[in-house]
Amino acid sequence: MTINTKTAILPLLAATVLLGAGCNPLASVQQKATDAVVEKVVESQTGQKVNVDSNGATVSYQGQNGGGTIQVANGTQYPENFPAEIPHYPGAADVSVITMQADSVFMVSLRSLDDADTVANWFEDSLTKDGFTKTSEEPSIFMRMYEKGNIKMSVQARYSEKKALTDVNIQLSKGN
């Protein structure tokens, strides 16, 4: 699956924007200033003009090549109208979602207390039961890739002994 490497900066920028809003009378002014800074950073990284508008746990952005939303939450569920092709791991926490390119690219981050093998095998079982084919595996980075029709998906599950949990990153792209 090919995702523009410059999109890797988006979760960091979302966190910066969302953490910029505090519980103080100047929060709105601070948020607008933070949005402007993030716009400049995204523009310098992507080469396109963007407009960032953050509101609560959601950051929306629009650029010359499309836009999307970033939802950062400490929730346990995917947002409404999310692609059904991405199965929801039981007991997942800290779910964050990025939607880009006119709802054709999705990135999900979540955490589980289960070990990485259990999580990765659960995703593989769920996806193959849903008609996906495992196309490759990159053991050095704990990633497995799948395809179904025009949908490509990668699942990466890495256990952190320090945190005693598994971080899971999922990328899905819908092509023509």
Query: Each residue's pLDDT tens digit in the chain (176 positions)?
Result: 444 444 444 554 454 444 444 444 555 666 677 677 766 766 666 666 767 666 656 666 666 666 666 665 556 677 666 778 888 899 888 778 777 766 678 888 899 999 999 999 999 999 999 999 999 999 888 999 999 999 999 999 999 999 899 999 999 888 76
Q: What is the DSSP string of 76-111?
A: SSPPTT--TTSPPPTT-EEEEEEEETTTTEEEEEEE
Quick one: tokens of 142? 């704990």
Q: What is the DSSP string of 53-67?
A: EEETTEEEEEETTEE
**Per the structure, how many domains does the chain have?**
2
Which of 18, 40, 64 terminates a domain? The answer is: 64
33 falls within a domain? yes
Give the range of the structural domain holding residue 24, as residue numbers without chain letter: 1-64
Domain shared by 81 and 130, yes or no = yes
94 falls within a domain? yes
In this prediction the pTM is 0.67
Number of Cβ within a 10 Å radius of residue 156:
20
Domain shared by 39 and 91, yes or no = no
Long-range interactions of 133-142: CB distance < 8 A, separation 24+ = 142/116
Domain shared by 158 and 89, yes or no = yes
What CATH code is carried by the domain that includes residue 85? 3.30.310
